[in-house]
Amino acid sequence: MSRTQETSAHWGTYLVEVSADGRDVVAARAHADDPDAAPAIGNVVDAHRHRSRVARPSVRRRWFEGGPSPDAGRGDPAEEYVEVGWDTALDLVARELARVRDAFGNQAIFGGSYGWGSAGRLHHAQSQLHRFLNVIGGYTRSVNDYSRGASMVLLPHLIGQRATADLRFKPVSWDDIARHTDLLVSFGGVRRSNTWVVPGGHARHVGSGLAREAGRTTRVVTLSAQRDDAFADLGAEWLGVMPATDTAVMLALVHVLVVDGLADDAFLATHTVGADQVRRYVLGEADGVPKTPEWAERISRTPASAIRELAHRMASGRTLVNVVYSLQRGERGEQALFAGLTLAAFLGQIGLPGGGFSHGFGSMGDYGVGIAGARLPTFPQGRNPVPDFIPCARISDLLLRPGEEIPYNGGRLRLPETRLAYWAGGNPFHHHQDLRRLRRALATLDTFVVHETHWTPTARHADVVLPVASTLERDDVAAGAGDSRLRASPCAVTPHGDAREELWIYTRLATRIGADFAEGLDSRQWLERIYEEWRGRPGSPPAPPFEEFWRDGDVALPQNPYRDTVFAAFRDDPVAHPLETPSGRIELFSGTVAGFGLPDVAGHAQWREPTQWWGSPLAAEFDLHLLCNQPSHRLHSQLDMGAASQSTKVAGREPLRLHPVDAATRGVVDGDVVRVRSAQGSLLAGVVVTDALLPGVAQMHTGAWFDPSAPEVADCVNGSVNVLTRDVGTSTLSQGTSGAHVLVAVERYDGPLPPVRAYEPPKLVRELAE
Contact 332, 731 (CB under 8 A): yes
pTM over 0.95: yes
pLDDT tens, residue by residue, 168-207 = 999 999 999 999 999 999 999 999 999 999 999 999 999 8
Contact 283, 255 (CB under 8 A): yes
Residue 563 vs residues 58, 172, 580: alpha-carbon distances, Å:
52, 10, 19
Q: What is the mean pLDDT of residues 219-231?
A: 96
| Bridge partners of residue 128, in order along the sequence | none
Helix axes 293-300, 246-259, angle to 10 degrees: 170
304 has pLDDT over 80 = yes
pLDDT tens, residue by residue, 680-736 = 999 999 999 999 999 999 999 999 999 999 999 999 999 999 999 999 999 999 999
Contact 731, 598 (CB under 8 A): yes
Contact 654, 689 (CB under 8 A): no
Q: What is the mean pLDDT of residues 217-224?
A: 97
Determine whether 114 is an active site residue: yes
State the architecture of 617-748 in CATH terms.
Beta Barrel (2.40)
pLDDT tens, residue by residue, 396-449 = 999 999 999 999 999 999 999 999 999 999 899 999 999 999 999 999 999 999
Q: How many Å apart are CA 53 and CA 44, to the nearest integer?
A: 13
Q: How many Å apart are CA 252 and CA 258, to the nearest integer?
A: 10
Separation of CA 205 from chain center: 19
Which residue among 114, 295, 422, 759 is the active-site one? Answer: 114
Helix (H, G, I), strand (E, B) or coil at 266: helix
Q: How many Å apart are CA 315 and CA 393, to the nearest integer?
A: 38
Rg (CA), the chain: 26
Q: How many Å apart are CA 606 and CA 334, to the nearest integer?
A: 10
767 has pLDDT over 90 = no
Q: How many Å apart are CA 230 and CA 236, to the nearest integer?
A: 7
β-pairing, 183-187 with 319-323?
parallel
pLDDT tens, residue by residue, 357-370 = 999 998 999 999 99
Q: How many Å apart are CA 760 and CA 50, to the nearest integer?
A: 9
550 has pLDDT over 70 = yes
For CATH 2.40.40.20, the residue range(s) in the chain are 617-748
Q: Work out the number of other CB atoms within 10 angstroms of the CB of residue 312.
A: 13
Which has the closest alpha carbon to 108: 342, 399, 461?
399
Which has the closest alpha carbon to 759: 77, 38, 113?
77
Contact 42, 633 (CB under 8 A): yes
Q: How many Å apart are CA 237 and CA 215, to the nearest integer?
A: 11
137 has pLDDT over 50 = yes
For CATH 3.40.228.10, the residue range(s) in the chain are 171-369
What is the pLDDT at residue 769? 47
Which residue among 81, 116, 174, 506 is the active-site one? Answer: 116
pLDDT tier for residue 117 given thresholds of 50, 70 and 90: confident
Contact 138, 334 (CB under 8 A): no
pLDDT, the chain, mean: 96
Determine whether 116 is an active site residue: yes
Q: How many Å apart are CA 651 and CA 670, to the nearest integer?
A: 10
pLDDT tier for residue 113 given thresholds of 50, 70 and 90: confident
Which has the closest alpha carbon to 581: 162, 267, 160?
160
Which has the closest alpha carbon to 651: 531, 541, 753?
753
What is the pLDDT at residue 62? 97
Contact 282, 342 (CB under 8 A): no
pLDDT tens, residue by residue, 485-503 = 999 999 999 999 999 999 9
pLDDT tier for residue 389 given thresholds of 50, 70 and 90: very high
DSSP-derived letter for residue 673 is E
Q: How many Å apart are CA 407 and CA 107, to the nearest integer?
A: 19
β-pairing, 405-408 with 3-9?
unpaired
Cα-Cα-Cα-Cα torsion 661, 663, 666, 668, nearest 10 degrees, comes to -150
pLDDT tens, residue by residue, 150-166 = 999 999 999 999 999 99
CA angle 550, 36, 670 (to 5 degrees): 130
Domain over 171-369 is classified CATH 3.40.228.10: yes
Helix axes 502-513, 523-536, angle to 10 degrees: 100
Q: How many Å apart are CA 548 and CA 532, to the nearest integer?
A: 12
What is the pLDDT at residue 231? 87
Q: Work out the number of other CB atoms within 10 angstroms of the CB of residue 179.
A: 14
